[in-house]
């Protein structure tokens, strides 16, 4: 059934992109870990030699953060973080489990998803590769930290045609519930917050987790009848699901013919008709069929062109030599070149880009894609220089184009104006800085504790009150840093505030490890990350 093939094709395309992302990240990190500079650094560090090439490692990994769109790089040796680009990393149980997984597999691996709430809410995925030092069992580990939503959400959000209800998302099982891992169009802040019990068997996510993959009908989280396609992502406990409301799907059926799979189908039919043209007795019928196929093919191509022309992103395609053969209207607007002017020119002549940080020209993006042979995110901090010399901040990505034999025949570059997002990010950073500065300068001690009872933030006053350093506390669970605290009345009140989301103010005493006692006025209130605790020393 053609209609089912549309949903299947969309899901499998996105699944392929996510698989390629995970595979390429592992390959890139493994290549990086093989660089001799890391082994030398770790060896000298372990011998406590002052010649340890710290600056070399810092420069390489700082450049890689920009090059590979990472949030941080860590080097771990003998259960200790000996290097972190951000200098903010802590070795928590999540990373320890990832290290054990890498040891067991004896090859690069990636983690499950981790939700962090402070200093900002984000979902991260970690990639790890072993570095052999002196023997097979003497291993260090290079870890890259990536923003999962920033890299994967654009793939899930992509729609090959206009639709109000088409959406793709990721889910996984969490004890007796299905947990949503990505954004949803009609439910804000869904990742790690939206959960449904596995008893709600009409949901597409529940059906998928119970083994029903492929195409099926279901009722989504909005209570709408949908057509769904689900498939598990290899080497993970994640499922990708694509939904579209049944009523919209039936209403918009004709528009779905813009997909390339339909074009390929029509080409096969055309070839079949030509092969059978030798049967003269059927000439009239064959010519009629050819006419209908050609008409449908032209209509499909026209619909495809209309769709691409209406995209808010610029699209440029080139041949294998990097010569431009197509630009959509948005690409014309952003570059300042018309398709007539650009056709046949080299990509780097029309799509001129430079690195925002260094000011240096970037390599031809088509050559980058052809080098890697798969979908590849291009350089971050990219500036597009228009035909008139104006500069526009853009986000871009590229992918190879294949023929029916699997041979690369060209490259497609997709890019969009990032100016508004940059302004928004700057405002968010400034707002966050003001918020942090306010907390840092409170006269009371201030702590933020996550739902799993880990310290996310402590200001200087709180550190003085607890008599411990930030390094000893951040990322650690409360009871590990304060043995026996879970048996106190103070902790019982904190649990109540955490679970019931209530505000409490009370006096409390706190016994330090040396036996001394401090007295405090404590105010606890719920926040998005968990609970915020203000403590005033009245000892």
Does 53 have pLDDT greater than 60? yes
Q: What is the pLDDT of residue 49?
A: 58
Q: What is the pLDDT of residue 346?
A: 92
Question: 271: part of which helix (H) or strand (E)?
Answer: helix 260-275
pTM attached to this predicted model: 0.49
Q: How confident is the model at residue 7 (pLDDT cuts 50, 70, 90)?
A: confident
Closest by CA position to 531, among listed 501, 492, 486: 501
Q: How far apart are CA 438 and CA 145, in angstroms?
A: 28
Average pLDDT, rounded, for the chain: 84
Under a CB-based contact definition with an 8 Å cutoff, are residues 192 and 182 in contact?
Answer: no
Q: How confident is the model at residue 271 (pLDDT cuts 50, 70, 90)?
A: very low
Does 255 have pLDDT greater than 80? no
Q: How far apart are CA 102 and CA 84, in angstroms?
A: 19
Q: What is the pLDDT of residue 366?
A: 75
Angstrom distances, CA of residue 338 to CA of 72, 164, 228, 388:
40, 31, 40, 13
Number of other CB atoms surrounding residue 469 within 10 Å: 10
Percent of the chain with pLDDT over 90: 46
Q: pLDDT digits over 107-153, tens only?
A: 999 999 998 876 677 899 999 999 998 888 899 999 999 999 899 99
Q: What is the pLDDT of residue 425?
A: 76
Q: How confident is the model at residue 160 (pLDDT cuts 50, 70, 90)?
A: confident
Angstrom distances, CA of residue 234 to CA of 19, 20, 23, 184, 366:
8, 11, 11, 22, 29
Q: How confident is the model at residue 22 (pLDDT cuts 50, 70, 90)?
A: very high
Q: Tokens at residue 323, please? A: 């010569």
Does 344 have pLDDT greater than 90? yes
3-state class (DSSP) for residue 313 = coil
Phi, psi at residue 326, to the nearest 5°?
A: -160, 140
Q: What is the pLDDT of residue 347?
A: 92
Q: What is the pLDDT of residue 159?
A: 83
Under a CB-based contact definition with an 8 Å cutoff, are residues 522 and 508 in contact?
Answer: yes
DSSP 233: P
Q: What is the pLDDT of residue 249?
A: 74
Under a CB-based contact definition with an 8 Å cutoff, are residues 470 and 458 in contact?
Answer: yes
- Residue 119, preceding bond cis, omega within 30 degrees? yes
Does 449 have pLDDT greater than 70? yes
Q: How far apart are CA 369 and CA 15, in angstroms?
A: 19
Token pair 């489990």 is found at 97
Q: How far apart are CA 321 and CA 318, in angstroms?
A: 7
Does 524 have pLDDT greater than 70? yes
Q: What is the pLDDT of residue 211?
A: 94
Q: What is the pLDDT of residue 201?
A: 93
Angstrom distances, CA of residue 102 to CA of 79, 106, 109, 129, 139:
14, 6, 6, 7, 10
Strands (E), 388-513: 391-402, 408-417, 445-450, 455-458, 504-511
Does 404 have pLDDT greater than 90? no
Q: What is the pLDDT of residue 387?
A: 94
3-state class (DSSP) for residue 478 = helix
């Amino acid at each position: 059934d053609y209609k089912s093939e549309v949903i299947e094709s969309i899901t499998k395309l996105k699944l392929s992109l996510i698989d390629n992302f995970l595979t390429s990240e592992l390959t890139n990190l493994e290549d990086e870990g093989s660089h001799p500079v890391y082994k030398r650094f770790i060896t000298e560090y372990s011998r406590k030699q002052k010649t340890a090439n710290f600056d070399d490692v810092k420069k390489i990994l700082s450049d890689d953060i920009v090059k590979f769109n990472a949030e941080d790089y860590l080097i771990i040796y003998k259960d200790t973080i000996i290097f972190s680009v951000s200098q903010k990393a802590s070795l928590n149980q999540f990373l320890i489990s990832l290290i054990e997984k890498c040891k067991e597999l004896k090859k690069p691996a990636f983690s499950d998803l981790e939700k962090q709430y402070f200093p900002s809410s984000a979902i991260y995925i970690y990639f790890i590769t072993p570095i052999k030092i002196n023997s097979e069992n003497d291993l260090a580990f290079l870890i890259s930290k990536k923003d999962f939503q920033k890299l994967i959400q654009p793939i899930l959000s992509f729609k090959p045609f206009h639709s109000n209800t088409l959406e793709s998302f990721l889910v996984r099982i969490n004890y007796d519930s299905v947990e949503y891992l990505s954004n949803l169009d009609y439910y804000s802040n869904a990742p790690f917050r939206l959960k449904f019990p596995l008893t709600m068997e009409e949901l597409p996510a529940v059906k998928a987790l119970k083994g029903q993959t492929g195409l099926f009908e279901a009722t989504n989280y909005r209570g709408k009848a949908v057509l769904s396609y689900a498939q598990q992502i290899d080497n993970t406990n994640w499922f990708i699901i694509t939904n579209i409301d049944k009523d919209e799907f039936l209403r918009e059926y004709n528009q779905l013919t813009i997909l390339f799979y339909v074009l390929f189908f029509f080409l096969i039919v055309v070839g079949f008709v030509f092969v059978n043209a030798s049967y003269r007795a059927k000439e009239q019928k064959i010519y009629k069929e050819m006419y209908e196929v050609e008409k449908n093919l032209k209509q499909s191509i026209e619909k495809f062109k209309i769709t691409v022309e209406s995209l808010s992103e610029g699209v440029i395609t080139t041949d294998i030599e990097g010569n431009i053969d197509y630009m959509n209207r948005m690409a014309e607007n952003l570059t300042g070149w018309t398709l007539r002017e650009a056709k046949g020119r080299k990509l780097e002549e029309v799509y001129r880009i430079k690195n925002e940080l260094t000011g240096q020209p970037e390599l031809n993006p088509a050559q980058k894609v052809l080098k890697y042979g798969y979908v590849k995110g291009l350089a971050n901090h990219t500036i597009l220089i228009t035909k008139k010399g104006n500069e526009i901040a853009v986000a871009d990505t590229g992918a190879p184009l294949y023929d029916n034999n699997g041979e690369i025949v060209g490259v497609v570059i997709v890019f969009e104006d990032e100016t508004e997002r940059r302004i928004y990010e700057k405002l968010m950073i400034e707002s966050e800085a003001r918020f942090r500065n306010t907390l840092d300068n409170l006269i009371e001690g201030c702590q933020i504790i996550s739902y799993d009872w880990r310290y996310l933030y402590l200001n200087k006053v709180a550190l003085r009150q607890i008599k411990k350093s930030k390094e000893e506390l951040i990322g650690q669970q409360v009871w590990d840093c304060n043995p026996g605290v879970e048996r106190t009345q103070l902790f019982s009140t904190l649990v109540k505030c955490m679970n019931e989301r209530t505000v409490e103010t009370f006096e409390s005493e706190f016994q330090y490890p040396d036996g001394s006692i401090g007295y405090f006025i404590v105010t606890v209130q719920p926040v998005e990350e968990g609970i915020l605790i203000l403590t005033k020393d009245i000892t």
